[in-house]
Amino acid sequence: MLDVSARKVKGLSAKVADEFRFLRNWAEKPLTTGAVSPSGPDLSRRMASFVEIERPGPVLELGPGTGVVTHAILECGIPQSRVIALEYSDDFCRLLARRYGDMAIVQGDAYRLRDTLADVEPGTLASVVSSMPLFSRPKEERRALLMQAFELLQPGAPFIQFSYALVPPVAPEPELFSVQRTGWILKNLPPARVWVYRRTS
């Protein structure tokens, strides 16, 4: 019983520490962190559910932060060795390296995706899972990020993004790409939804 209680306290203290890290990073760099706390477990699991496990190739996570969505991706059955985590914050990169030692962690700018991930072959990614605060950037930059991701993704593979907004972060262009959305994930604070983009041509 004592061991169980100790594990609960340790888990709780880690969660509080993560919340503090997120809040501090948001206060220092609100345009790059984009949220005051990590995604909740329901949102994280919903995002991870769209990862296409059966596809071979790496899964790219953009803006993993403290790793809550990372954990959900791994829980779906994706091994750490298949995940590439691209994170802007050096603080979060160090944290991810301690927690996920077998995962490729790249510190860099996702809005310069092709330069930052120059070693990734075009058309090889199985999925992209993004927690980037896209609405903090102009719509041209959001679209440019999505188009760079499509160059790295296999044909038809998903680009998975969450947001708190009523409208998609990038408007669909049926001749180039489609988007589907989930319902509101009300247990997340604030409520969010997931948008899944796929290249159509």
* pLDDT, tens digit, 9 for 90 and up, residues 6-60: 555 555 566 556 555 545 554 555 544 455 457 899 999 999 999 999 999 999 9
Give 173-185 pLDDT, tens digit per residue: 999 999 999 999 9
pTM of the model: 0.83
DSSP per-residue codes, the chain: -HHHHHHHHHHHHHHHHHHHHHHHHHHH-HHHH--SSPPPHHHHHHHHTTS-TTS-S-EEEE--TTSHHHHHHHHTT--GGGEEEEES-HHHHHHHHHH-TTSEEEES-GGGHHHHTTTSPTT-BSEEEE---GGGS-HHHHHHHHHHHHHHBPTT--EEEEESSSS-SS--BTTTEEEEE---BTTSSS-BEEEEEEE--
